[in-house]
């Protein structure tokens, strides 16, 4: 597996969801929040960063902790979590990290001279009179900042809109001045939440959370998690603050919307929230997103797929795979089970439950233990995409546990049984 791109793209013991990818100086850097294995809530860790050469997206390097949660003056005791961040390069050439703490509805900013150095707290986004953005009368709470800098201006996108919450109207766009902190133009709504989407092009794919912004050519691409949570959608405009039109789904972490190997509306994995964005690398467009492990929402891992671009500048929905940013995996090899991109119990696809098969690891968070699949009960479906089986005619499965039964081998869920692998009880692999 050395340097071969796979999903998840980071080691199996690392849990970095909400990925925001950027190319700086010949490397792809991914910024995200930091979950823990067996965590009890989202985002328990400090911010860490990973990067890879643009010409070798299987060779990821750990850049270390770039920002500690206790660095924020509001969080010296560490009682709050660092939610999903974003990074932009300011007009002064430095790198600015924007984030929101889990119990404070204002936007914090940290700065660093390098893309993955040690960031230092800078301040809070505020109006010219010093009032913090999110605290002025009429302001809506700030959440999940996404940022884009052009010239001396930085466009800040924020928001969270739960279903049925009419107090929040949608995704907001705010313009900041060259100090990266002071509001130049106040927030405006660019994409509606579900309570205000009826009759618009966003109906049934209204804004929920996870705003992210990219610009390709002369077009702004607003990427967000929709009211369905499992999908990342996008809208485009020629202006950063108005005129956005819904364009489609980029990826679903349950492949809902993909009907090539299953029914289009049936999930192929356990669905929950999603967050990510797009980056162009060497002429390819890549979508970063996350999946859920350990049978909960709180131990998420980053994944990535290659997008297909259409002639009109749009994108087709990407299929979730085990190969990720590489080509089909040679079947004449041994692969860890955690690469499974299809994982569910046939009696309850897409729903977490006590008996659901799940990716886990031995040890505690931070232990470099290779992940595996536990809770493999009758009716469990485990799928890998895609494997090149040329010159291969047999399959071996390694198991551990007091079990008895067999695996059946198929090329699609419910397809023809091509072979069987009997398994027996053992307390070692």
Burial class (CB in 10 A: 0-12, 13-18, 19+), 138: exposed
User: Hey, what are 411's tokens?
Assistant: 């090329």
User: Hey, what are 219's tokens?
Assistant: 């077009």
Start-end of H helices in 227-380: none
DSSP label at 399? -
Measured from the Cβ of residue 17, the count of other Cβ atoms closer than 10 Å reads 28
Secondary structure (3-state) at 347: coil
420 is catalytic: no
β-bridge mates for residue 257, sequence order = none
Report how far residue 9's alpha carbon sits from residue 301's, in angstroms, rounded to the nearest whole number: 9
DSSP label at 71? G
305 is catalytic: no
Report how far residue 162's alpha carbon sits from residue 243's, in angstroms, rounded to the nearest whole number: 23
Phi, psi of 360, rounded to the nearest 5 degrees: -135, 180
User: Hey, what are 98's tokens?
Assistant: 């924007």
Closest CA to 206 of 237, 177, 235, 236: 235
Secondary structure (3-state) at 339: helix
DSSP strand pairing (387-388 vs 329-330): parallel
Q: In angstroms, what CA-CA distances link 119 with 44, 47, 50, 229, 248?
A: 18, 10, 15, 30, 35
β-bridge mates for residue 358, sequence order = 374
Q: Which of 14, 86, 209, 255 is catalytic?
A: 209
Report how far residue 46's alpha carbon sits from residue 131's, in angstroms, rounded to the nearest whole number: 28
63 with 50: CB under 8 angstroms?
A: yes
Secondary structure (3-state) at 426: strand
Residues 6+ apart with CB under 8 A from 422: 405, 406
Task: Catalogue the active-site residues.
Answer: 18, 209
């Amino acid at each position: 597996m050395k340097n071969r791109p796979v999903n998840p793209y980071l080691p199996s013991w690392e849990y970095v969801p909400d990925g925001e990818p950027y190319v700086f100086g010949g490397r792809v850097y991914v910024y995200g929040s930091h979950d823990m294995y067996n965590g009890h809530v989202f985002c328990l860790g400090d911010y860490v960063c990973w990067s890879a050469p643009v010409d070798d997206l299987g060779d990821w390097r750990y850049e270390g902790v770039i920002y500690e949660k206790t660095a924020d003056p509001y969080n010296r005791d560490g009682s709050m979590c660092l939610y999903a961040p974003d990074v932009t390069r300011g007009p002064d050439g430095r790198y600015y990290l924007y984030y929101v703490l889990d119990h404070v509805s204002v936007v914090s900013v940290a700065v660093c001279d390098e893309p993955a150095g040690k960031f230092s707290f800078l301040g809070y986004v505020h109006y010219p009179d010093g009032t913090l953005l999110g605290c002025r009368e009429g302001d809506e709470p700030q959440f999940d900042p996404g940022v884009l800098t052009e010239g001396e201006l930085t466009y800040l996108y924020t928001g969270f809109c739960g279903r049925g919450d009419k107090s929040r109207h949608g995704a907001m766009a705010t313009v900041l001045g060259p100090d990266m902190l002071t509001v130049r133009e106040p927030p405006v709504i660019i994409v509606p939440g579900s309570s205000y989407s009826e009759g618009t092009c966003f109906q049934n794919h209204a804004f929920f959370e996870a705003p992210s912004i990219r610009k390709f050519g002369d077009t702004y691409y607003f990427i967000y998690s929709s009211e369905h949570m499992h999908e990342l959608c996008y809208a485009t405009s020629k202006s950063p603050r108005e005129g956005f039109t819904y364009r489609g789904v980029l990826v679903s972490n349950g492949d809902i919307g993909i009907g090539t190997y299953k029914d289009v509306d049936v999930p192929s994995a356990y669905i929950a929230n999603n967050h990510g964005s797009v980056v162009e690398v060497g002429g390819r467009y890549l979508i970063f997103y996350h999946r859920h492990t350990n049978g909960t929402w709180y131990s998420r891992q980053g994944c990535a797929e290659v997008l297909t671009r259409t002639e009109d500048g749009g994108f087709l929905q990407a299929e979730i795979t085990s190969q990720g940013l590489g080509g089909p995996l040679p079947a004449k090899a041994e692969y860890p089970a955690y690469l499974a991109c299809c994982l569910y119990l046939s009696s309850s696809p897409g729903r977490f439950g006590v008996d659901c098969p799940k990716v886990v690891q031995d040890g505690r968070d931070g232990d470099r233990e290779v992940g595996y699949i536990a809770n493999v009960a009758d009716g469990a479906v485990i799928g890998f995409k895609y494997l090149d089986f040329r010159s291969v005619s047999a399959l071996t499965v390694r198991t551990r546990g007091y079990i008895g039964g067999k695996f059946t081998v198929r090329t699609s869920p419910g397809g023809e049984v091509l072979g069987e692998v009997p398994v027996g009880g053992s307390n070692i692999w």
